[in-house]
Structure 1
């Protein structure tokens, strides 16, 4: 039911986007390693990614995003995310963002899960809370009630945006919790797009089990956005 409602919200918003194209955008990207919260989603292999978004002047938004994945045990296939939410810019370079996202895996529906999230940003600093509200994960690797907490800071210096993030994933499952950090640098090119160099490291529980170690991982992402 949760996925059905979210799908209807996203499809409805994207349909509106085709009727009133202001606020609609798309993006494509390529990375040598798809890393999410410190964990490789492609067994340290490349990924091709794309997304479609619509944002209304009221602050409401919806979108979809897809990437190839590869997990242990030859589990491969696309990841298809659907999300919808509300974002509001406040005074003093502050912003709030709340919404729901469904992480779907069409080739393996048993891995699907849904999160509610809340994010705040102020003058380059940010904080987020992500809470699992539904899960079909047959292995119980992700369960209802899991919580991810994240802090970040970014600053542009001489045309390059430098970023630092730290997070803690708390699971219902025993011995699964882990922490992750990321350092990044992004350079935007007017016609080419954005290029991000990132270093991620994750320690403990699920991270080491999936990554196979606690070594730092370097990734490069190229992303290009298009406004309609």
Structure 2
């Protein structure tokens, strides 16, 4: 469950294909993922100054529904930060009658963000939960335990709704809408993001936008693979 799935974020645009790796030393439940995208978008906002990104991660999933993993990507915010490293764990399963659920915690770390300015640390965490039925899902992420440089993330709430439909053999259409609201104390502007994508064979073409002023519609092309370890 890499970051792009934790947020069910179409705008992250790294919907994975699969690659089975045979090995005599395979570990049940352990997998890796590698991806590349023309623009790393998170909740509709570029994390790489509209440049390309390479990402990868390792995940462990147990048959009980417990999972844990880590995911990394390059970033560019115009400061010291050059990398993002996420850690997450959670529990998911079926509720019956076609309903599914997922709850967990994710921590977003930027190891070199305060390299020249000690006040520029902006690691933060979120608790999250989602409910799915058939092709549809709704999710909520709530900001917790942020560093001083990420005060905007404290008590911030991101709610999203998504749908994924196979429109042809191997071709998936995904629709997304999200709303990000912030605590008034931190003077961050609430906004909404939305998008659509088509995916096949590990490739994804996505279009996304936000309702923020002076924000243009963005087009991304991505490719990713999952590898059983």
Q: Unpaired runs of 5+ in structure 1?
A: 1-18, 189-193
Map 1:1-228 onto structure 2 (within 5 A): 21-72=27-78, 74-108=79-113, 110-138=121-149, 140-142=151-153, 144-158=154-168, 159-172=170-183, 173-188=186-201, 194-204=202-212, 208=213, 213-228=214-229
Report which of the two has the higher share of strand. Answer: 1
1:137 CA displacement:
4.1
> Paired residues, what number?
196
Task: Answer yes or no: is the 8 Å Cα contact 1:184–1:198 preserved in 2.
Answer: yes
Distance 1:88 1:137 in 2: 35
Q: 1:114, CA displacement in angstroms?
A: 0.2
Is the 1:92–1:123 contact (alpha carbons within 8 Å) kept by the matching residues of 2?
A: no
TM-score (norm 1): 0.82
If the length of structure 2 is used for normalisation, what is the TM-score?
0.81
Aligned to 1:21, the other structure's residue is in SS state coil
- What secondary structure sits across from 2:215 in the alignment? coil
Aligned partners of 1:219, 1:141: CA distance in 2, in Å? 27
Deviation, 1:138, is: 1.7
Moved over 3 A (4+): none
Identify which range, 36-45 or 166-175, moves more after superposition. Answer: 166-175
Assess if the C-alpha contact under 8 Å between 1:113 and 1:137 holds in 2: no
Gaps of 5+ in 2: 1-24, 115-120
Select the structure with the greater relative contact order (CA < 8 A; seq sep ≥ 6): 2
3-state DSSP class of the match of 1:140?
helix
**How many angstroms does 1:44 deviate by?**
0.3
Tell me, in whole angstroms, the C-alpha distance in 2 between the residues paired with 1:78 and 1:120. 31
Taking the aligned partners of 2:138 and 2:62, their CA distance within structure 1 comes to 24
